[in-house]
Amino acid sequence: MITGGSRGLGREMVLAVARAGATVVVASRKLDACESVAEEVRAAGGQALAVACHVGQWEDLGRLADTVWREFGRVDVLVNNAGMSPHYGSLAEVNEAMWDKVLDVNLKGPFRLSALIGERMVADGGGAIINISSIAAYRPSAGEAPYAAAKAGLNNLTLSLARSFAPTVRVNCVVAGPFLTDISKAWKPEVLERQMRKLVLGRAGEPAEIVGAVLYLASNASSFVTGSVIDVHGGGF
């Protein structure tokens, strides 16, 4: 199951795990967008289910979990990928609604979905949960304070969940740097250039470059790995 699976890094992950032989649940707010990616998987010979879900809505997450268990009877891997970081002019312009929405999508949603899925994974004998965080959790810019705070919380939550669901369910985190997804098209050139100067590799990542870490953490190749935070950010330390 991959949240935020209809675009950007989420879409890339969906296609990659499907090529690896997984049946994929594509979850995102817009059903038609999810169905479009699911159809890509099916056209390539894979299996996919599209489910509309707003990860910031507590009740939606319960419906998502119930739908997937009703359809497949289990979840082996959960990827908490959905996220958002709205622009704002100044900190004083960040109103309560914006703050709550950013924390809901980036932190509350992964917590609730992991709680629902993780407990069922334990009952079923095991599984893997992968949280997708951001380099903003380490090095926040002035324009992403709520998002950076939420992602820092997600890094911490990873460790707590790893202890909570041990020893049968592994929980890990991927800290992503700037990637050239559709969202990056909205970045101002000077902002992108400034970000590139901070990275050892001197460039942004291509979407396909996120999937190696995700496939590793989803598979038995990482059977002795839990509570780990893996950086995939081009050397943005």
Of 148, 3, 12, nearest to 80 (Cα)? 3
Rg (CA), the chain: 17
Token digits of residue 229 = 């935070």
The C-alpha atoms of residue 190 and residue 206 are separated, in whole angstroms, by: 19
In contact, 162 and 226? CB cutoff 8 Å = yes
Closest CA to 82 of 49, 40, 45, 110: 110
Q: Which helix (H) or strand (E) holds 42?
A: helix 31-43
The angle subtended at Cα 55 by Cα 146 and Cα 30, nearest 5°, is: 115
CB 88 within 8 A of CB 101: no
Residue 143: C-alpha distances to residues 61, 106, 185 (Å): 29, 16, 17
Helix spans in 73-199 (H): 96-103, 109-124, 145-165, 189-197
- Give the span between the Cα atoms of 148 and 155, in whole angstroms: 11
Active site residue 88: no
Per the CB < 8 A criterion, the answer to whether 192 and 178 are in contact is yes
Q: Which residues are catalytic?
A: 147
